[in-house]
Amino acid sequence: MRHAPSTVHSAMTRPSTYLWRASMNGFSLTKGQVFKIDGARFRIERTLDNGSITLENCETLALVRKTRQEILEAYAEGRVVAIPLRLTEADVPSDENALRSRYGRPFCELKKSVQVAALRRKAYVDLILSNGRPSYTPKILRPFILKVAQTLNDKKPPSPTTVYRWCEAIGVSNDPRRLIPRHDLKGPRKPRTNQKVIDLFMESIVEEAAIACKLAIKNVEDRLSKKISQANHFLPANEHLQIPNTRTLYRLFDRVPEYDITLLNEGKSAADRRYRIVRRGVQVSRVLERVEVDHTPFDVFLVDERTWLPCGRPTLTMLIDVFSRMPLGYYISFDDTSTLAVMRAVRHALLPKKPARAVVPNLTVQNPWPCFGRFEMLVCDNGLEFHSDSLAAACFDLQMQLLFCPKKQPQFKGVIERFLKTCNYSFAHRLPGTSLAHFSARGDYDPLTCAVLTISEFTHLFEKWLLDVYAQTVHKGIGTTPSKKWEEGIVGVSQKLPASAEEIALHLGIYKRRSLRHDGVLLNGLYYASDDLLPIISTYGIGVRVRVAYDPEDLGSIWLWAPDGQEKIRVPAVQADYANGLRLAQHRLIRKYCRDSEENGEHATSLMEARIEIAEALSGLANSKHLRQRRKAAKALGVSNENPSGNATPSPPPPQKSRVMTSPVNTLDSSAKLNRIQRNII
């Protein structure tokens, strides 16, 4: 069925003042005009020669008198909006198709061919109506048609009947938009396929999406065929459903909204995220009011500073100020996302900055990094590292609010999400050894053979880009550069810091409760003791529970508080030569190594000897041919932007005490054992 011819015919054969008024365009101060003024809908009931106009409220039917000038001034101020007559409740024409024939969008949006056709029609109608409304007979219209055809060089002029229809379509409103060919109204509005078949088709799509990773029309067609065969068993022979052609199924599938397709393929969260309207985020009024934090792996491979072999992609933990878009602090390491990385990044954000070690020749960071101080709110996602008790306690002690976004809603911290993407696409992807965002984008490019940057060089380059490129580039979201926005926002704001840098380290440490005995405090398998603990034992007795804090990057000492005391006590490890500079991850690896040695019936290995053997094994892993092993070594050594070479190997004991120094076979055995242990530890 095609509606366009019947639409035009109805407009011609039943011309009425009602239809002409419905097609009238715009706003005029005439009786019957409906409009909204300040949100209230009125109808003009009476106009007087003295400029007085009586309005009727369409909801309350109350009469209001206004002057012509008052209404025109309100129109100029944008307070008046005309309502087309076809949208009023009381005056809806019975023939809606006649109203649909008027094109309501801008003329420039039409195809060029449609614009030419509309202008051609208007040329014929203008010449005829310019001579008054004649009698629409072929004898009278033909001379006008021939005259316009000669002017336009129209080789196929329209018939008198066609011109008559055009003249009637334009009506008394003289609205040329009614001459636009409405090809968009042609054809059926609904599919011709049986509605029962369509329902079964939609059921097949839903069922197929529940078991398949991605919809395939072929599989949907097979499922639909079975459903139609089953349905035909319960229908008379003359009502049997026909299986649609494959092309018909594709056309039906094209009618399914894109949102529903994504919903079936990827789930509701992905569909809501893809088809959403991006609005302005949380509004902030000052710097350090709202800070967002998150992790991302850098799309670049780095090399070990000693072996010069690629050791993997580092992980970036970054904090950014929402008001100024200025980076506040970061932490780069080969560890996975962890509470330690968050603590280190927060500490870097709080402290005044010192430039990264200049290791790249002839590369100087020109701009300072003025960001430091305690912020009011820390916004993060629902990762396990953010839900740790240590981070919650640190934020409480530092007087910062910890805010969690809803699950799987990254747009609630969109500033840091977008910045992390900028870090990779604008910085990491331009470096040698970049892995790019997708594996398919590499082609023949091998990032491992192109990797040349150490973590020290990478950190130097990163700060150069961060302060001299990103911070000095105009940000569309704030209309200026992050550096200038920070300078403007920091005026009048006090950058508060805790009492000392040591206090920051304390607050950002890991807190535990342990028992204090004669031999001291046992924490992570190490004893910590000092004469300063004697008053606590004398006062509270043996076994009293005390609060301790430690740095997982250095187990050489801990801080301890008495049950009712306010002053902290620094307590060194009993095995100080072993624990100084030792990371918690390394210590766990060493203890596991010692336990396995004893279980296998081997000679009991002391912690210090085990640390020497582990260091040798890590050195072997760092030289491994496998990237995964080299990354494990970098992770175990604690390689980061703060410690590019990892924790230093302790001084070896005398040769007769070290089996690693005397037996090269043991080095291989240690490396093999380490591989087994790391499967459980790392």
Euclidean distance between CA atoms 14 and 662, whole angstroms: 110
Q: 101 with 182: CB under 8 angstroms?
A: yes
User: CA–CA distance from 379 to each of 98, 142, 234, 291 (Å)?
Assistant: 56, 77, 60, 6
**What's the average model confidence in pLDDT over 461-472?**
95
Query: Do 129 and 224 belong to one domain?
Result: no
Residue 423 has pLDDT above 80, yes or no: yes
User: Is 284 inside a domain boundary?
Assistant: no
Residue 210's domain comprises 195-274
By DSSP bridging, strand 63-67 and strand 315-321 are: unpaired
**What's the average model confidence in pLDDT over 26-48?**
88
Task: Among 181-190, 434-443, 460-469, 593-602, name the one with the lowest average pLDDT.
Answer: 593-602
Euclidean distance between CA atoms 362 and 12, whole angstroms: 82
Using 50, 70 and 90 to split pLDDT, how confident is the model at 269? confident
Query: Do 296 and 322 belong to one domain?
Result: yes
Using 50, 70 and 90 to split pLDDT, how confident is the model at 611? low
Predicted pLDDT of residue 666: 45
pLDDT more than 70, % of the chain: 81
Q: 678 with 585: CB under 8 angstroms?
A: no
Query: Do 340 and 465 belong to one domain?
Result: yes
Query: Do 375 and 486 belong to one domain?
Result: yes
User: Is 620 inside a domain boundary?
Assistant: yes
Residue 657 has pLDDT above 80, yes or no: no
Query: Do 295 and 224 belong to one domain?
Result: no
Predicted pLDDT of residue 664: 38
CATH of the domain at 521: 2.40.50
Using 50, 70 and 90 to split pLDDT, how confident is the model at 25? low
Query: Do 11 and 71 belong to one domain?
Result: yes
- The gap from C-alpha 387 to its chain's centroid, in whole angstroms, comes to 21
Predicted pLDDT of residue 372: 93
Last residue of a domain, one of 525, 554, 577: 577
- The gap from C-alpha 608 to its chain's centroid, in whole angstroms, comes to 48
User: Is 282 inside a domain boundary?
Assistant: no
Residue 619 has pLDDT above 70, yes or no: no
Last residue of a domain, one of 524, 542, 577: 577
Strand (E) positions, 84-221? none
By DSSP bridging, strand 520-523 and strand 526-528 are: antiparallel
Euclidean distance between CA atoms 181 and 470, whole angstroms: 52
Using 50, 70 and 90 to split pLDDT, how confident is the model at 274? confident
**What's the average model confidence in pLDDT over 213-222?**
88
**What's the average model confidence in pLDDT over 2-27?**
40
What are the φ/ψ torsions at residue 321 (nearest 5 degrees)?
Answer: -85, 125
Predicted pLDDT of residue 3: 41
Query: Do 181 and 125 belong to one domain?
Result: yes
User: Is 114 inside a domain boundary?
Assistant: yes
Handedness of CA 386, 389, 393, 394 (dihedral sign): negative
User: Is 190 inside a domain boundary?
Assistant: no
Using 50, 70 and 90 to split pLDDT, how confident is the model at 618? low
Residue 616 has pLDDT above 70, yes or no: no
Task: Among 127-141, 377-391, 457-471, name the one with the lowest average pLDDT.
Answer: 127-141
Task: Among 239-248, 283-292, 443-452, name the one with the lowest average pLDDT.
Answer: 443-452
**What's the average model confidence in pLDDT over 205-213?**
88
The two tokens of residue 130 are 């310019």
**What's the average model confidence in pLDDT over 43-65?**
90
Residue 601 has pLDDT above 90, yes or no: no
Number of domains in the chain: 5
Predicted pLDDT of residue 594: 76
DSSP β-bridge partners for residue 550: 510, 558
**What's the average model confidence in pLDDT over 202-206?**
92
**What's the average model confidence in pLDDT over 308-315?**
83
User: Is 500 inside a domain boundary?
Assistant: no
Residue 336 has pLDDT above 90, yes or no: no
Query: Do 597 and 540 belong to one domain?
Result: no
User: Is 283 inside a domain boundary?
Assistant: no
Predicted pLDDT of residue 172: 61
Query: Do 634 and 559 belong to one domain?
Result: no
On average, the pLDDT of the chain sits at 81
Residue 518 has pLDDT above 80, yes or no: yes
Query: Do 442 and 466 belong to one domain?
Result: yes
Predicted pLDDT of residue 377: 94
Amino acid at 472: Q
Nearest Cα to Cα of residue 548 among 537, 535, 560, 533: 560
Last residue of a domain, one of 135, 152, 185: 185
Using 50, 70 and 90 to split pLDDT, how confident is the model at 644? confident
pLDDT more than 90, % of the chain: 38
User: Is 269 inside a domain boundary?
Assistant: yes
Alpha carbon distance, N-terminus to C-terminus of the chain: 69
Euclidean distance between CA atoms 117 and 158, whole angstroms: 12
Query: Do 310 and 332 belong to one domain?
Result: yes
Query: Do 255 and 303 belong to one domain?
Result: no
Local structure of 436: helix, strand or coil: coil
